[in-house]
Structure 1
Amino acid sequence: MPTFRQLEYLVTVVDTGSFTRAAEHLHVTQPALSHQMRALESAVGGPLLERLPRSVRLTPMGRAVLPHARAALAEAGRLHTVARRTAGLEEGELEIAAIYSVSLGILPPVLRAWRQRHPGVRIRLREYPHTDRLQAAIAGGRADLAIGPVPVAWEGPIHELGAEEFAIVLSADDPLADHPTGSVVLTDLADRAWVHYAPDHGLADLLDHVCVEAGFHPQAAIRVEQTSAAPLLAAAGLGPALVPANIIPPHFDGVLLRPDPPVRRTLTAYTRARPDPLTVAFADFLADQARVDPTGFAAAATLVDRTDTPARGQNL
């Protein structure tokens, strides 16, 4: 069986990019490091690393083993806080992974309320542009809890938070900005160039999906990496944008219209199979604090009632 030290050596070699730098970081000799890596490869039944002239590269087996090594190290690194977490949640560290819109929208007030109750618990937030990368991060042990769309084929606990509602953002002088119904049919925007998202951004998938359902492919005037940039650029007149309503600040120069039909996606919080008490406590707290009145769209409310109509494109 691989040892903890061997897994640590593997991760360090990969992260530093060479045996020499890894040995310096670990304060061991390079022959000792090489010996432990050979022992690890013998234990798993095949080569994990390929030595190149100036770096190392993972083999296919190495790519398969690395996420499990990281997860094992992450769990080991948190063991010393478990006892204190169990005894009153007074201390410890919680690592949270979230998609961009969550860290901009529903999470800040929840973290503020949590901090007031548990000031001794440190929070580390990791942000991801796409639900696939978010799910891979929590599966690979990079966080205790993930917050985002419904994960695919997830075996651990899942807390449903509600449906995140989306708005169409237009500039204040747009011809459709003063629509009397406060909504806009997507086909009315079919000939527009949109404020779109980078191809690896989850909202790029969502925008493409809902537009194709409406019968057209959205053209991009500009593509953004950060979710927060989309409403600002749309308000500046670069094109319509589809954004989570909960990320819009109270004083905003643009105009928010409800897409017709509405666009929503279910948000969840999920953990690995056996979360520790601190993670369970935060997941329960999040599920309680994230529920808001469904009439709050005009004020950029965070979530609609979980009994509402299921989200279109909610798994994107």
Structure 2
Amino acid sequence: MHLRQLEYFVTVCELESFTKAAERLFITQPSLSQQVKRLESDLKVTLLDRTARTARPTPAGRALLPIAREILAGAARAEQAVRDVRAGQRGDLEVLTVRSLATGILPPGVGLWHEKFPGVVLKINDYPHAEAMEAAFRDGVGDVAIGPRVGLTGTHTVSLGFEELVLIAGPLSGVHTDKALSLAELRDQQWVLFDSANGLTRIIRTLCAASGFEPLATVFTGQVETALELASNGVAVTLIPDNAVRGEHRRCARSLAPPVFREILAYSRPGSRSLSDVFVDIVRRAQPALLTRADLPRAHSLA
């Protein structure tokens, strides 16, 4: 039993004529008769009483007719629902990201998205670090993930731009923050690092190793916000995304020399791209804080 066969059967019942039904359906009368016969064969019953002039439903046909109409109406609603989702008129989109981006990068794009697609609900899941986001996305959570470069494969990937990683050193740290500092000048400083699951520690260790030293950890934390508070209060220095630094903490933030940037990407699943691609494009256009590769300073490091 196919939807097309049910449509043909219902049309014949409504017009009580194979000839008129064929004209409405823009098919030949033999093709219409053949499809109705196949439906009868599948159901092992006669659905229509055929005469030279009319075709009327049998008792079995009358029993099928309202159900067939319900099925066709349900299929039409299903098709419309999918079209509405593709057009951004209904549905939902689940976005995974990291907390610094959820507050520092996404809001302008989310605002524009809501103006353009008020009928689509955004579900934003923010994670403490990129590795947690990556693990959730691998487990099937979310339609699109936005964060630093991770090891996700089999996804559609778009670069949103580059964010700067800045040094946080409070007034009590003893670090002179009136100018940009090189990592080599921080050789003797104590550091706030992140737990092993957080990729920022790997970035800090790699950058410091390139400058010839191992960072001396005095505190480990899993949260960028905690590291920002500790470093701003002079406990130790740290390196965090510039978009995570807000309010009074900005006085403790300095660029390194050369500045350090990391790329922010969007990862979407093949089956979710109809809405994901639109969302990613809106976020990219709405976010002036991220630099393109062409905008990066000549002397810089990429984390």
Matched residue type, 2:106: L
Report the counterpart of residue 84 of structure 2 in structure 1.
84
> What displacement does 1:187 show?
1.7
Q: Given the alignment, which residue of 249, 256, 259 partners 2:246?
A: 249
Question: CA separation in 1, counterparts of 2:239 and 2:171?
Answer: 16
Report the counterpart of residue 190 of structure 2 in structure 1.
193
Question: CA separation in 1, counterparts of 2:212 and 2:265?
Answer: 29
> What displacement does 1:115 show?
2.2
1:138–1:271 contact (8 Å) kept in structure 2: no
1:166–1:258 contact (8 Å) kept in structure 2: yes
Question: CA separation in 2, counterparts of 1:126 and 1:178?
Answer: 35
Percent identity, please.
28
Question: CA separation in 2, counterparts of 1:278 and 1:253?
Answer: 36
Report the counterpart of residue 209 of structure 1 in structure 2.
206
Question: CA separation in 2, counterparts of 1:264 and 1:102?
Answer: 14
Matched residue type, 2:281: D
Aligned ranges for residues 141-290 of structure 1 at < 5 Å? 141-152=140-151, 154-179=153-178, 182-252=179-249, 254-290=251-287
Matched residue type, 2:293: R
1:172–1:254 contact (8 Å) kept in structure 2: no
2:162–2:290 contact (8 Å) kept in structure 1: yes
Q: Given the alignment, which residue of 280, 284, 292 partners 1:305?
A: 292
Report the counterpart of residue 12 of structure 1 in structure 2.
none
2:165–2:255 contact (8 Å) kept in structure 1: yes
1:105–1:247 contact (8 Å) kept in structure 2: yes
Q: Which protein shows a greater Rg?
A: 2
1:150–1:268 contact (8 Å) kept in structure 2: yes
Report the counterpart of residue 43 of structure 1 in structure 2.
none
SS in structure 1 of the partner of residue 229 of structure 2: helix
> What displacement does 1:104 show?
3.0
Report the counterpart of residue 107 of structure 1 in structure 2.
106
> What displacement does 1:93 show?
1.0
Question: CA separation in 1, counterparts of 2:214 and 2:80?
Answer: 52
> What displacement does 1:280 show?
1.8
Structure 1: tracts of 5 or more residues without a match = 1-78, 293-301
Question: CA separation in 2, counterparts of 1:98 and 1:253?
Answer: 23
Question: CA separation in 2, counterparts of 1:225 and 1:240?
Answer: 15
> What displacement does 1:313 show?
5.1
CA deviations on 1:29-82 (whole Å, 9 max, x unpaired) are xxxxxxxxxxxxxxxxxxxxxxxxxxxxxxxxxxxxxxxxxxxxxxxxxx9964
Count of paired positions:
223
1:95–1:143 contact (8 Å) kept in structure 2: yes
Report the counterpart of residue 122 of structure 1 in structure 2.
121
Question: CA separation in 2, counterparts of 1:255 and 1:153?
Answer: 34
Distance 1:188 1:95, change over 3 A: same
> What displacement does 1:130 show?
4.1
TM-score, with structure 2 as normaliser: 0.66
Aligned ranges for residues 38-117 of structure 1 at < 5 Å? 82-87=82-87, 89-117=88-116
1:100–1:226 contact (8 Å) kept in structure 2: no
Distance 1:187 1:266, change over 3 A: same
Report the counterpart of residue 62 of structure 2 in structure 1.
none
Question: CA separation in 1, counterparts of 2:297 and 2:114?
Answer: 33
Matched, 1:137 2:136: yes
| Greater fraction helix | 2
